Chain A
């Protein structure tokens, strides 16, 4: 590791990248939802509590936050809190499914400084997208993108989670983003939330991962949120920090104010504390037991003898955890196949024990939600 990487791994005064989910409510029920969203939680933070967090974010000089959910635009105070962030000099990038981006709200968003939008699309056509995100969603998201363009919002981000079904469409996503003057963002599918059950069928094959690595290497302008650092074991590192930032450079505040090590580990085991406790978010970030332990040097574990460990750091903690692997095991998508071997060994030993979601806000099956294959360990 470089000295900068070492220092980042040991923790910072404030996170570089803070994800803040504003609600568990969502009108969609995507099969890969990392937060198992659907129904609003009755204990969600009030407007006043939300503003208190914005104050603390500004004080900690966290320059911008990534807002997600659920669908953040479903909060009745969405614009009020957005405007409060802008007023406090906290830049906002919010992630949306686009269903609430009308001609009117697009104009309002275009008029706000420091606001960036990331709109989710998981297929270049209706068949591919709607299989993941639900019937009719493709048409709606294209409409939302049209509204942003018509309102002269400027460059927004078009974000695609890479699956076995859509990874071959990367060139078409690039063309579509260009058509809208948007930036393309591709991210790794992790087996979190409802993805615990769907990941095994939907995650890209090893050949697809190699193809994607080469494609990304040739396009450093494509954003990835540093999510494909496990692929850097293939050779030249992908742009970015190439390390697991959980509790070190990133963390997540959920809609009820609980703080987790990263957006992909919404599970009791990775809960560091709550913003509702004494000292608020800053105290959790700076002195929680969990974050302190995540900043300790880690053991290479099963990857100790691999020459690529420095490049990939053993991969993604969340992906290991939710597939039932120990945290010092190889990443399930290890480019040398060690993760697949480790998963196969678990199966041979009586089956992987996969953690289940600690807070499931999914709507009941039948309420706009497709039945997804469920594997009970």
Chain B
């Protein structure tokens, strides 16, 4: 989905939402968001490494470099990360951490 790319800015700091859990699988990982109950596939082991380490890096771009991902592959990773942002699996620094299990 090209429309989702705009939500992801590789020059910013991103991290996994605190209510997201990852389960390693042969294709990469299964990600589950306990907050919005969404389930999604991380379709490559590199993508798994990336989302797990993004929080420790100042920007997404720095995380790409730290994970040793070939710059040619960056656009496809950005697309995958953008859809994770849409599903709130990844959050930026404006995100207020979850504190209260109140139902919506």
Contact A13 B25 (CB under 8 A): yes
C-alpha spacing A91/B37, complex, angstroms? 9
Q: Per a CB cutoff under 8 Å, which of A8, A63, A152 touches B39?
A: A63
Inter-chain contacts of A64 with B (CB < 8 A): 32, 37
Q: How many residues of B contact A (CB 8 A)?
A: 16
Q: Which of B18-60 contact A (CB under 8 A)?
A: 21, 23-27, 30, 32, 34, 37, 39, 41, 43
Inter-chain contacts of B41 with A (CB < 8 A): 4
Contact B34 A14 (CB under 8 A): no
Q: Per a CB cutoff under 8 Å, which of B24, B27, B103 touches A153?
A: B103
Inter-chain contacts of B104 with A (CB < 8 A): 154-155
User: Who on chain B is nearest to A11 by CB?
Assistant: B26
Q: Which residue of B24, B26, B37, B103 has the most chain A CB atoms within 10 A of its CB atom?
A: B103
Say if the beta carbon of A180 comes within 8 Å of chain B: no
Say if the beta carbon of A357 comes within 8 Å of chain B: no
CB distance from A98 to the nearest CB of B (A): 19
Inter-chain contacts of B37 with A (CB < 8 A): 64, 91, 116
Say if the beta carbon of A61 comes within 8 Å of chain B: yes
Inter-chain contacts of A155 with B (CB < 8 A): 104
Given that A63-B21, A64-B37 are known contacts, is A7 also in contact with B26, CB under 8 Å in the complex?
Answer: yes
Contact B23 A154 (CB under 8 A): no
Q: Per a CB cutoff under 8 Å, which of B26, B43, B101 touches A10?
A: B26
Q: Known pairs A7-B25, A63-B23, A63-B34; list 5 more (Cβ under 8 Å).
A: A7-B27, A13-B25, A16-B39, A63-B21, A63-B32
- Which residues of B pack against A, CB within 8 Å? 21, 23-27, 30, 32, 34, 37, 39, 41, 43, 101, 103-104
User: A-B pairs with the 3 shortest C-beta distances?
Assistant: A63-B32, A113-B101, A61-B23
